[in-house]
Amino acid sequence: MTDPTIERVAVVGTGVIGASWTAYFLARGLRVSATDPAPGARERLTAAVARHWPALERIGLSNGASQSNLTFHEDLESALSGAQFVQENGPEREDLKLDLLRRMDAALPEDVVIASSTSGLLMSRVQRACRHPSRVVLGHPFNPPHLIPLVEVIGGEATSAVSLERAMAFYRAIGKRPIHPRKELKGHIANRLQAALWREAFHLVSIGAASVADIDDAIAYGPGLRWAVLGPFANLHLSGGEGGLQHTLDHLGPPMQSWWDDLGTPELTPELQRKVVDGMNAALDGRSRESMETERDRVMLELLKARCDL
């Protein structure tokens, strides 16, 4: 069910994230006007939406959902005309983001929320390019947005409570799972949690403790399965049996602290990068990116269905 006050969304930037957002908005029965200055962007977007559509059909399309509700515009201002919500997915460069936000702010009515999919930039910095900074929020999804429900919604120093609530309400209405972290941090919340895991994964490779394939299997066939159902604190709570989280901390707290103290702090040197890439290539064993994406999406759809059935 979509927000009845929002019928048309503008998607600015149609790379991997923007195309995924576009497909999802269309599947929720919204009209989407998209724009991207890259050569061939229109054709790539159309192909991506068509590629994502079968998975969205399995999830279930909303009334009025249609790929024909997509229009592509070469001009940014044309794409923004009539938009009631904007999902921006420009490059992760602050200078480009500032210019993009400035142009969008100038072209839109001041009550239209501009949500940025940026993975690491802070809204307090990019919203300063706007005359109406109160309507700029972070709307950060997890890849691929057309499947994963999480959206992080964070405001900058000048963002209004009204804009934050409107963004949260919109994402909830289209079936997303928005969260509202209370502080602006580099990488927000989910990416910081990922970064902590990546740091130790790279460290283990750098010291020769495990192969890239073994590390991937350790997560995908171990804690990753639990994390697909419950978060880290809830899993710790269940680990404590009748005593819950407190019992877990009483018994595992000291070992956990010793593990933290022993975690690595690797430097992402060219040598380590090469080691990880070589390990990934060996683990792929001829599998294509397309086949991996297909398998990922198939399993993810089954997980999402299982979650809905809980």
pLDDT band at 33 (very low <50, low <70, confident <90, very high): very high
Name the architecture of domain 190-309: Orthogonal Bundle (1.10)
Check: CB of residue 12 under 8 Å from CB of residue 32: no
Q: Which helix (H) or strand (E) covers residue 150, if one does?
A: strand 150-155
Whether the pLDDT of residue 11 is over 90: the answer is: yes
Query: Mean per-residue pLDDT for 212-236?
Result: 94
Residue 253 φ then ψ, to 5° = -55, -55
pLDDT reported for residue 216: 97
pLDDT in tens, 41-76: 999 999 999 999 999 999 999 999 999 999 999 999
- Measured between alpha carbons, how far apart are the two ends of the chain, in Å? 20
- Cα(92)–Cα(103) distance, integer angstroms: 17
Q: Where in the chain is the domain with CATH 1.10.1040.10?
A: 190-309
Q: Where in the chain is the domain with CATH 3.40.50.720?
A: 8-179
**Among the ranges given (178-182, 203-207, 222-226, 294-298), the one the predictor scored with the smallest mean pLDDT:** 294-298
For the chain, the average pLDDT equals 94
By the 10 Å C-beta count (0-12 exposed, 13-18 middle, 19+ buried), 269 is classed as exposed
- Cα(30)–Cα(235) distance, integer angstroms: 37
Amino acid letter, residue 307: R
**Among the ranges given (57-66, 154-163, 291-300), the one the predictor scored with the smallest mean pLDDT:** 291-300
Q: May I ask the CATH class of domain 8-179?
A: alpha beta
pLDDT band at 309 (very low <50, low <70, confident <90, very high): low
- Cα(173)–Cα(278) distance, integer angstroms: 43
Query: Mean per-residue pLDDT for 292-307?
Result: 87
pLDDT band at 1 (very low <50, low <70, confident <90, very high): very low
Check: CB of residue 25 under 8 Å from CB of residue 71: no
Whether the pLDDT of residue 286 is over 90: the answer is: no
Helices (H), the chain: 16-27, 41-59, 76-80, 94-107, 123-126, 161-173, 190-206, 212-220, 223-227, 232-239, 244-262, 270-284, 289-309
Whether the pLDDT of residue 2 is over 70: the answer is: no
Check: CB of residue 94 under 8 Å from CB of residue 126: yes
pLDDT in tens, 96-132: 999 999 999 999 999 999 999 998 899 999 999 999 9
